[in-house]
Amino acid sequence: MGLHSLALRAAATAALLTFSTLAHADSLTVKTAQGKVHGKTINDGKVKAWLGLPYAAPPTGELRWKAPQPAAKWSGERDAAKYGAHCAQNHVFDDMVFQDNGPSENCLFLNVYAPAAATAKAKLPVMFWIHGGGYSGGSGDEPRHNGDFLPLKGVVLVTINYRLGVFGFLATSDLASEAGGSAGNYGLMDAVAALQWVHANIRAFGGDPANVTIFGESAGSFAVSTLIAAPSARGLFAKAIGESGASFNRNSTAYVSPADRFASGDKFVAGLGVHSLAELRALPAQTLLDATKKPGVNFPQNVDGKFLTEPVPETYAAGKQAHIPLLAGWNSDEGGSIAALSTTTEQFRSRAAAMYKAPEKAEEFLKLYPAETDAQAQRSAIDLNGDQFIAFGTWRWIEAHRKTGDAPIYRYHFELAALPSKYHFGTFAFHSDDIEYVFGTLDTRPGETIRPEDRTLSEQMMSYWTNFAKTGDPNGPGLPTWPKYNDASYPLIHLNSPITAGPDELRPRYEFLEANPLAR
């Protein structure tokens, strides 16, 4: 080959590389309704990420404790390579780690992750993650929620921030008067605003706005169960996944009347020494956060009169919730850390007698939560605490949707016990244990030995979750069969090593709790 030919080939190769580089760079620039954003690649170029995208206006000043307003438009190109601030909060849980520059009330940001090859024509299913943290802590940018791996299963992932605690859920009579009779649930309204943003913009990132799956853990799962019932969220998602939590606990303040909830908020505000909404909105964020540290102060979702006009279970009982496929479940040791202290047979039997004054009911209870030995009593204490905390409410949600939802349901029980680590002691499938398996982020766990069986289960769960997002059915090639949760034997899948499936053997326990509420 002559020098001229070699020169031509070199020039052609250089031109091709330049075109490829420009095309790749161009694929990181996306036009949204607010303006252009330029993202970056992660996971060795396998995933594209756009971070810190504002989906609503900063809820500060006059917008503090108001429904989210549209985000402002911008000219030019917005850098989307860094996370936006996480929402203002007190320290809640030690295992919550943030990757942004710090907390702020200006925090209504979301993050989008897509496979590197995805184009605006891809129409990939969208998975919309709502983080947990008791509605008082957490962020969409925690390392365990990273989008490095889940999009490799052929989905677009969205993680969001939403207002928390006093900023997201304060409800007072003055706020209600200002807003025409309703107050509270601003954090849930934020989630709806983020879903609306996804509906309007996600196609440009390669996602399908007609195929959105909302999913969340703990408070995020509470939010999922609530959004299915909320009229303002209708039509913004097609499927739902709930991990350990639902707005169905009998002791939930969501059952409190709006008037009582507003009175509770009024009492909190009275302790701040302000006399108007203007003064309240002028208080520094830290002043409000400090005031929430007092014992007994909390700000849950509520029946506000507009976003929710009735308790969530009533909406399901009437069949007025969205009739969409549901995948839901909980972990085997939700109450593990709470009950880790020694519990004897005598102590647990005394507890049963205190909860059920009628001796025959206490004995029936002890058949379902046996305490013949101290070891058995310890296990029953873990089970009872987990049921009271999370499991029973989640079961009630699944049952309610089974009865009136007119859609497939898939139930799981996560059982692979984690080894002790920096943030938990004992060998438990503890509350929130499932998150890193779903996201493929096990290596973000500090000080924990990750075993081959952990990685295998994570890969299987990622496939189940993304299969469900694609089709409404978690089953797929190479996976153990996951049966539908039907009326015959209420089968569920046991997420363990290995995975098995079978009838619900604990159903009598939950039927007893349903028929015999625990004494308060």
The DSSP secondary structure of 401-436, one letter per residue, reads HHHH--S-EEEEEE--PBPP-SS--SSB--TTTTHH
DSSP state of 151: G
Cβ atoms of 33 and 55 within 8 Å: the answer is no
How much is the pLDDT for 342? 75
Say what the pLDDT of residue 111 is: 98
* SS3 of residue 48 by DSSP: strand
Residues involved in catalysis: 218, 334, 431
Amino acid at position 422, single letter: K
pLDDT score, position 9: 52
**Neighbouring residues of 420: CB distance < 8 A, sequence distance ≥ 6:** 426, 427, 448
Q: Exposed/middle/buried for 21, CB within 10 Å: 0-12, 13-18, 19+? A: exposed
Give helix then strand counts, H and E, for the chain.
16, 16
CA 494 to chain centre: 21
Angstrom CA distances, 327 to 213, 215, 355, 473, stand at 10, 9, 32, 9
Instruction: Evaluate the CA torsion angle 480, 484, 485, 487 in order and state its sign.
Output: negative
Cα separation, 297 vs 281, whole angstroms: 19
CB atoms within 10 A of CB 420: 13
pLDDT at position 19 is 37
Question: In this structure, are residues 308 and 185 in contact, taking their beta carbons and an 8 Å threshold?
Answer: yes
Query: Residue 7: its pLDDT value, please?
Result: 47
CATH topology of domain 26-339+393-515: Rossmann fold (3.40.50)
Q: Are 191 and 73 in contact (CB under 8 A)?
A: no
CB neighbours of residue 274 within 10 Å: 15
Beta-sheet pairing, 500-502 with 492-495: antiparallel
User: Which pLDDT score is estimated for 255?
Assistant: 62
Q: Are 204 and 120 in contact (CB under 8 A)?
A: yes
Residue 89 carries which DSSP code? -
Answer whether 324's CB lies under 8 Å from 374's CB: no
- DSSP bridge partners of 213: 127, 239
The pLDDT value recorded for residue 471 is: 98
- Alpha-helical segments (H) within 202-344: 219-229, 258-270, 277-282, 285-291, 312-317
User: Do the beta carbons of residue 121 and residue 127 sit within 8 Å?
Assistant: no
| Count of CB atoms situated within 10 Å of the CB of 285 | 16
| Token pair for 107 | 């925090």
pLDDT at 208: 98
Q: For the full predicted model, state whether its pTM sits above 0.85.
A: yes
Q: Where are the domains of the chain?
A: 26-339+393-515
- Angle ∠(151,154,160) on CA atoms, nearest 5: 40
Given CA atoms 336, 129, 241, 465 in this order, what sign does their dihedral have?
negative
Which residues of the chain are modeled with pLDDT < 50?
1, 3-8, 10-25, 520
Strands 47-54 and 109-115: antiparallel
CB 71 within 8 A of CB 57: yes
- Report, in angstroms and rounded to the nearest whole number, the Rg of the chain calculated over CA atoms: 24
**pLDDT for res 254:** 53
**pLDDT at site 213:** 99
Distance CA 103, CA 83 (A): 11
Closest listed residue to residue 412, CA positions, set 218, 215, 214, 244: 244
Coil, strand or helix: which one is 4? helix
